[in-house]
């Protein structure tokens, strides 16, 4: 069966520091991968999606970037964090085929101070 | 531009009641619609997936319906229990199935009182 992992679970970082969040998927190959952010009191916002290695699409202009160095690894990064980057970051993958059902990881809670 | 709206934003019911959560979307050109559950501080759990060609899906006490032409979906929860307390999100898969971008509603926070 497929599982999706996110690391770390929680993170507290000062403004201006770098960021690296990791997402890995097991039990599937060539998934579409997604990064979402859920800010307090707001809905889920799609940040990036990837249909393959080194193929990244950005949905909104921001202080963040994404990379996919391996088929089942998706990384969210920043060179200098802003206060507004605080939020709950969720990684997801899609099952493909006819279903296209999307499954989510456990999330990373990021607090920028 | 696809927009998804969920009503009500919050709902509190006594245990045992049957309830309906509503979801509406502005563009009927969807590939599918998914209902999720989110517990506080946790990720999203997929509850039901309805393809655009389907009208409903059932899983246990949950039943989701889809009326694509009117841009509406409902999630029916039968015989609610305190363990059903959570935020329920609906999302539509918009555009090409290959890119698979989900557009989410703001969610309905449900509290079921013992």
Dist CA A107 CA A38 (whole Å): 10
More confident residue, A61 or A111: A111
Mean per-residue pLDDT, A94-105: 81
Mean per-residue pLDDT, B73-100: 89
- pLDDT 10s digits, B91-105: 998 766 566 688 999
Identify residues of B whose CB sits under 8 angstroms from chain A CBs.
31-32, 34, 36, 41-46, 49, 51, 89, 91, 93, 97-102, 104-107
Give the closest residue to A36 by CA, choosing from A83, A88, A96: A88
The secondary structure of B37-101, three-state, reads EECCCCCEEEEEEEECCCCEEEECCEEEEEECCCCEEEEEECCCCHHHCEEEEEEEEECCCCCCE
**Cβ <8 Å between B100 and A106:** no
Contact B24, B68 (CB under 8 A): no
Identify the pLDDT of residue B21. 97
Suggest the residue from B100, B104, B106 to mutate for an interface test with chain A (most A CBs closer than 10 A): B100
Instruction: Report whether pLDDT(B8) > 70.
Output: yes
Contact A66, A55 (CB under 8 A): no
Dist CA B26 CA A92 (whole Å): 24
Identify the pLDDT of residue A112. 96
Q: What is the mean pLDDT of chain A?
A: 91
Dist CA A47 CA A7 (whole Å): 18
Token look-up 């199935």 returns B97
Write out chain A residues lying below 8 Å of B104, CB-based. 43-44
Contact B102, A102 (CB under 8 A): yes
Identify the pLDDT of residue B95. 66
- pLDDT 10s digits, A71-81: 999 999 999 99
Dist CA A60 CA A70 (whole Å): 23
- pLDDT 10s digits, B23-44: 999 998 898 999 999 999 899 9
CA A111 to chain centre: 15
Residue in B with minimal Cα distance to A52:
B99
pLDDT band at residue A40 using 50, 70 and 90 as cut-offs? confident
Contact B76, B84 (CB under 8 A): no
Dist CA A51 CA A68 (whole Å): 10
Identify the pLDDT of residue A109. 96
Q: Which two tokens stand for residue A66?
A: 């994404």
Give the whole-number percent of chain A exceeding pLDDT 90. Answer: 72
């Amino acid at each position: 069966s497929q599982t999706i992992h996110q690391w770390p679970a929680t993170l507290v970082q000062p403004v201006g520091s770098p960021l690296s969040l990791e997402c890995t998927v097991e039990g599937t190959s060539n998934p579409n991968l997604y990064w979402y952010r859920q800010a307090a009191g707001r809905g889920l916002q799609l940040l990036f999606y990837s249909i393959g290695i080194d193929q990244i699409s950005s949905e909104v202009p921001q202080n963040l970037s994404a990379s996919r160095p391996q088929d089942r690894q998706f990384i969210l990064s920043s060179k200098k964090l802003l206060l507004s980057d605080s939020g709950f970051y969720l990684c997801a993958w899609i099952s493909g085929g006819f279903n296209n059902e999307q499954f989510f990881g456990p999330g990373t809670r990021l607090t920028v101070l | 531009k696809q927009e998804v709206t969920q009503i009500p934003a919050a709902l509190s019911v006594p245990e045992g009641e049957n309830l309906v959560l509503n979801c509406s979307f502005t563009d009927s050109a969807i590939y599918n619609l998914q209902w999720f559950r989110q517990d506080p501080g946790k990720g999203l759990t997929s509850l039901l997936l309805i393809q655009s060609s389907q009208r409903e899906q059932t899983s246990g006490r949950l039943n989701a319906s889809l009326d694509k032409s009117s841009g509406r979906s409902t999630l029916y929860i039968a015989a609610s229990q305190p363990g059903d307390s959570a935020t329920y999100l609906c999302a539509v898969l918009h555009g090409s199935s290959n890119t698979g971008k989900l557009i989410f509603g703001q969610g309905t926070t449900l509290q079921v009182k013992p």
